[in-house]
């Protein structure tokens, strides 16, 4: 089976955030929208999506047009719960902040998919099946017992095309959280994994809490007591109705994937400087390794084949759709060296990656 796996796609509701930010800055966007063939019809469609590379290029063009490298922070300022799709509507009607954050992470997949990972929410030192994992994360992130962590995944290496993404997500979450509870003192700290940029003072102007750079990941920490604060627009009947529909939609997404595709989606985030093992992938799927192996064989494949197919399809997308260097792509796909990656790429496509990128333009 050949896997068709792209870097990911995102709802046009996130483009709507861009347009709101540009309008807030008083900058016209008609030429940018024409360049990417985006019209009012596509922007109003609940099913319309754009590829992750297209979204990043669009954001880069907005930054060039407005002249503000901190454009992502402006996007965060204008973000509202409704811009997060069903996840945001669930958060809007949730009973308390903890429940709201759970919805933002749990139903993110209905609004966007990224091969690099998915957002997570956990309460530090929580009990349950993944207690050890959360204890380790709590120590790594410097989080105290009972505090909540809303975590965005790593999208390094960072460049002019993706800083704004992390800026917009974390600042957007903070903006939404403040609106949900009607107060600004629920966030303990905001953490970014990249070094402080030249516009670092803008973060301190925006966030009503400490801002830290060069951290273990991209995440916000919510005060323990704030997790129990009531959401001002809470509505149990509305929440349950929305949750019922969201569960059904999420199940449709999952049922529409073959097991090969499910394994491939688990492999993607683990391809970050190393080659994931069957045991690591099985842990992500919450299955025993022998079960994963058996299910793949039943579909006529194997773990090694799925790993190779995932690497190949992501490699083609990275080379064709991004401006990442070949060394950066090699690292992201778990190759030991750029040379090893180039040999593999030529074996897969018949072309060296540099030439492949040139002829695809």
pLDDT tens track for 301-354: 999 999 999 999 999 999 988 888 999 999 999 888 889 999 999 999 999 999
Model confidence at 130: pLDDT above 90: no
Supply the pLDDT for residue 343.
93
Cα–Cα dist 281/283, whole Å: 5
Cα–Cα dist 324/317, whole Å: 11
Residues in Cβ contact with 287 at an 8 Å cutoff, skipping those fewer than 6 apart: none
Are 241 and 323 part of one and the same domain? no
Least-confidence region, from 16-20, 35-39, 40-44, 207-211: 40-44
Does the residue 328 lie in any domain? yes
Are 212 and 276 part of one and the same domain? no
CATH of the domain at 261: 1.10.10.60
Q: In what order do the strands lie in the sheet with 8-11?
A: 49-51, 8-11, 112-114
Does the residue 1 lie in any domain? no
Cα–Cα dist 292/260, whole Å: 10
Cα–Cα dist 70/171, whole Å: 11
Interval 280-292: pLDDT, tens: 999 988 899 999 9
Are 101 and 174 part of one and the same domain? yes
Long-range (24+ apart) CB contacts under 8 A made by 140-143 are 140/216, 141/191, 141/215, 141/216, 141/217, 141/219, 141/221, 143/221
Q: How many residues does the chain have?
A: 361
Give CA 139 to chain center in angstroms: 23
Are 243 and 261 part of one and the same domain? no
Are 322 and 180 part of one and the same domain? no
Are 262 and 239 part of one and the same domain? no
Supply the pLDDT for residue 252.
84
Interval 44-58: pLDDT, tens: 888 889 999 999 999
Q: Show which of 247, 270, 302 is a domain's final residue.
A: 247
Does the residue 252 lie in any domain? no
Supply the pLDDT for residue 136.
63
CA distance to 142, 186, 192, 330, per residue, from 145 (Å): 10, 16, 21, 38
Q: Show which of 220, 247, 274 is a domain's final residue.
A: 247
Cα–Cα dist 104/89, whole Å: 9
Does the residue 2 lie in any domain? no
Instruction: Give the residue from 119, 114, 139, 144 showing the smallest Cα distance to 216.
Output: 139
Domain boundaries, position 207? 8-247
| Structural domains of the chain, count | 2
Does the residue 29 lie in any domain? yes
Q: pTM for the whole thing? A: 0.87
């Amino acid at each position: 089976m050949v896997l068709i796996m792209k870097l990911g796609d995102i709802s046009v509701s996130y483009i709507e955030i861009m347009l709101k930010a540009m309008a807030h800055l008083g900058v016209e966007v008609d030429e940018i929208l024409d360049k990417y063939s985006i019209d009012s019809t596509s922007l109003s469609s609940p099913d319309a999506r754009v590829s992750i590379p297209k979204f990043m290029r669009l954001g880069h063009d907005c930054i060039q047009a407005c002249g503000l490298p901190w454009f992502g922070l402006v996007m965060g300022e204008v973000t509202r719960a409704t811009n997060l799709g069903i996840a945001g509507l669930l958060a809007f009607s949730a009973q308390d902040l903890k429940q709201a954050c759970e919805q933002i992470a749990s139903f993110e997949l209905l609004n966007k998919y990224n091969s690099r990972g998915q957002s997570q929410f956990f309460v530090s030192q929580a009990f349950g099946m993944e207690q050890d994992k959360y204890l380790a994360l709590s120590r790594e992130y410097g989080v105290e017992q009972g505090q909540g962590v809303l975590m965005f995944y790593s999208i390094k290496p960072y460049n002019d095309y993706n800083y704004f993404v992390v800026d917009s997500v974390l600042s957007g979450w903070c903006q939404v959280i403040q609106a949900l509870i009607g107060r600004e003192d629920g966030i303990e700290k905001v953490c970014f994994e990249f070094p402080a940029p030249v516009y670092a003072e803008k973060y301190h102007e925006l966030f009503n809490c400490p801002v830290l750079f060069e951290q273990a990941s991209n995440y916000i920490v919510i005060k323990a007591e704030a997790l129990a604060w009531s959401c001002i627009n809470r509505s149990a009947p509305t929440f349950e109705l929305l949750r019922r529909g969201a569960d059904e939609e999420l199940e449709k997404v999952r049922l529409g994937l073959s097991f090969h595709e499910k394994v491939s989606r688990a492999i993607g985030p683990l391809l970050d400087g190393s080659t994931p093992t069957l045991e690591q992938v099985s842990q992500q799927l919450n299955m025993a390794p022998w079960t994963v192996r058996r299910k793949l064989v039943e579909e006529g494949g194997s773990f090694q084949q799925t790993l190779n197919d995932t690497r190949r399809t992501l490699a083609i997308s990275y080379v064709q759709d991004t401006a990442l260097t070949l060394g950066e792509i090699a690292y992201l796909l778990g190759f030991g060296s750029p040379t090893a990656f180039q040999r593999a790429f030529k074996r897969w496509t018949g072309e060296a990656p540099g030439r492949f990128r040139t002829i695809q333009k």
